[in-house]
Chain A
């Protein structure tokens, strides 16, 4: 049977989701529920509809199809072959650095599809990367990766559970297992004001990462409020956080140094 998954978007010329020029495939559905999620449309495993009232032309013909962009269906079921075809379009631009990044949502929650897509990309000579919360360990998938971009959102387990709905003990253990497999890794922490923007949190995370052997970099990413607009378009109540200041990011960066 052809493996399918719900895809929210396939973004070409993606240059912030791994090295070089990449195509990022966003899978729909994630077991974590991070309150600051900047891609809230990728949390649910079902198709949803964005509603942008400012684009509505009041034609009264919603049921016959919306063309103005006011109602946009989010989540398109696609086969691995269909996604691969899109990913191949930019293959000439990937060079030795770039390639595909499977993202989400949570790629590990779409195990069969993610594995099949990564294998198909490798067979086509396309470099592979995955962005994941690492909520589970999947050696088969990890074996297909040239790069893993894993998040450690909060180092403290209680806080992690409070803000993401899931404990992080398993996540840290899985990152360690990936490291033991020798998977090249970049680890990131989204910095959210009032949640995890403490020197203690970053220092502890960095200390953990220093005990590993295949972490190329530890990156701090500033939270941005893009998710709020999308959550509103999905009819959800978005949690409002403040973006960290540049000074704060610089201050925390000192603790993120792995050297």
Chain B
């Protein structure tokens, strides 16, 4: 008889096979694993383009293509599992964004021909520039290397309680009810209805598939499991989930749908939202803890959405409960790319925190990660938000938080490369009669203001029109006021606290410090010599070494630390001061996501000794060799000191091999590190505790460790799936931490 452990082991093996097959099918993927499975042979979904721009937009375009792609998805049922459903393809693949286009589309001649000819005169685009052009913004967006957020999707969070309490049948009733109430909104409700019906059809196909598998199944325990799975699916195809098992299955289907639609990866406060189902089942005697853990493991396998666990309520009471432990237990069983974030606070259950760190230590797979309640909550309240709402704002993305069902933050989609802003300022100072770091900083601030202003214009364009381009038909279902008013989430949010991240902090801080020391204080270099060196990309290696060897940001009490603090104050001040219409406001943070290579490629040589085109620094992290001892405490303190202070993050990205075991006190050391970073003002720790031998072996030959998971930035990915460039990035960050 197969035990849960046997089944989990098989599920893990299947996952490894899928990871390798996906790489063969899609090429390298420098993105989240997403939990997808490989496409079946002959998979084909033909997109419907409704725009001369060569793409599909709006209510009809999005709903029609969602239905087509979902219909093309075969049912996925693995008898080893208790839950079913997987996703494989997403709408954005058909909108021509080369950043996301997988190899299988590029290799599919029929599809490629369709997408690049006939109805479309060009490759389709995600944003409908014919109707909503922004050519006037483009020159400055390019000048300052701004990631605009225009054409971004998802990056907000659903209130899962809405969907779980109504079920798909209840959502259909709600849609039909409000269609009658809100005259003139028929197109909106029609589109919503089509999407929900497509999801119900997707579930129905799973019920059929389970039936087929049941007919051939001989193992009694698996037969029983499949019968249960079938009943669960039948119950939730329209009905609201009533049991823990049904709630998990409902979430699995919803997540497949929302991923296919806009890659949405925002989960929910898992231990709180699922608790009533767990407690009721235990009381009724129909659920034991081992089964609960298996179901959680299964859900995490289906899709590594970002879930928060533990935390604190409005009255500062710890929210850790028995289910919090079971969730970690489920992740502990399956040990894949689990995107669990533990919220750490003053009254945190120490045993729970210890268990979380033990998981990190034992598996060395980059999960869980940790966020700090104090600075996040207090900071978000500085935007004029009450404490209850600030506490509801949970970790649901790479670097970002959102209030589920209420906030439309565009988090992680809007970024300004401040290394580029400094380059522009340096260019302007070149012909100025007086050159100094103070004069440069004034110019930097002037250009930063321009950069933020043009960023704000882009954000406003997006917010004003995204409902006509990419209405969020799936996430709307669980967004407050959306179905009630017939409005897209982008139109009816209670909070528009839009995240604007700065990227390249360490490059700019170290550059200012190097210029201050070598040019102004020591007079080892003249300004002209510095400009010449930047111009010729450090033809004289000695000049580069001179600039590169000054004390760096995160060194501890260095001039560069002081510059980083000043840059943070400036960036935060300029972003917060930007006037926004309609109750919108901008919220500053430091984060580059996985774009440090891309951002660096457009920035020439910088005064910190960085050569032209080299990657910029990662997020709020320091530059390589920031200290000879690479002390993570120095890094943690340095990053705690550059938090922007309004509830968005400047994550501490840590990679290290402590060369110390759990028995030798390793867990206590990491717990101390985490707690102190948050006490000092830190907001988020993306942490990889790695086995140096395994990582270096995998770097040489990824096939040797196809199960190795790394937290690249906020997201986790299978190391074997990353491109060589990204693998190098992770390895060099890690070597820096040794």
What residues make up the interface of A, taking CB atoms closer than 8 Å to B? Answer: 9, 11-16, 19-21, 57, 59, 61, 65, 67-69, 85-86, 89-90, 92-93, 95, 97-98
Contact = CB atoms under 8 A, between A and B. Distances in A.
Given A20-B668, A92-B680, A95-B672, A12 B556 contact: yes
B637 interface: yes
If over half of B's interface residues share one DSSP class (helix, strand or loop), that class is named, otherwise mixed; here it is helix
Interface in B638-670: 658-660, 665, 668-669
Contacts of B556: 12, 86, 89
Given A21-B672, A92-B680, A12 B627 contact: yes
Contacts of A98: 672
Nearest to B640: A92
A16 B557 contact: no
A13 B633 contact: yes
Contact of A90 (B548, B633, B660, B665): B633
A57 B628 contact: no
Contact of B541 (A15, A59, A86, A90): A59
B208 interface: no
B518 to A, nearest CB: 9
Contacts of B548: 67
Nearest to A96: B672
A97 B541 CA distance: 45
Contacts of A65: 524
A12 B629 CA distance: 7
Contact of B669 (A15, A61, A86, A90): A15
Contacts of A93: 633, 636, 672-673, 676
A11 B627 CA distance: 10
Give the bracket for the number of chain B residues in contact with chain A: 20 to 34
Interface in B487-543: 524, 541-542
B545 interface: yes
18 contacts: A11-B629, A11-B631, A12-B629, A12-B634, A13-B629, A13-B632, A15-B658, A21-B633, A21-B673, A67-B548, A67-B549, A68-B541, A89-B556, A90-B631, A90-B634, A90-B637, A92-B637, A92-B676
Interface of B: 524, 541-542, 545-546, 548-549, 556-557, 627-629, 631-634, 636-637, 658-660, 665, 668-669, 672-673, 676, 679-680
A248 to B, nearest CB: 19
Contacts of A13: 629, 631-634
A57 to B, nearest CB: 5
B628 A89 contact: no
Contacts of B668: 20, 97
A233 to B, nearest CB: 14
Nearest to B656: A13
B633 A12 contact: yes
A57 B665 contact: no
Contacts of B546: 67
B592 to A, nearest CB: 24
Contacts of B557: 85, 89
A98 B665 CA distance: 11
Given A12-B627, A67-B548, A97-B668, 20 more contacts: A9-B629, A12-B556, A12-B629, A12-B631, A12-B633, A12-B634, A13-B634, A15-B658, A20-B668, A21-B673, A57-B542, A57-B545, A59-B542, A67-B549, A68-B545, A68-B549, A90-B637, A92-B637, A92-B680, A98-B672
A57 B632 CA distance: 30
A95 to B, nearest CB: 5
B375 to A, nearest CB: 15
Nearest to A70: B545
A57 B665 CA distance: 43
Contacts of A89: 556-557, 633-634, 637
Shortest Cβ-Cβ A-B pairs, 9 listed: A12-B631, A67-B545, A13-B631, A59-B542, A68-B545, A13-B633, A67-B546, A57-B541, A11-B629
Nearest to B609: A67
Contacts of B680: 92
A16 B541 contact: no
Contacts of A86: 556
B549 A69 contact: yes
Contacts of B672: 20-21, 93, 95, 97-98
A68 B679 CA distance: 38
A9 B627 CA distance: 11
A222 B658 CA distance: 17
Nearest to A95: B672
A21 B631 CA distance: 11
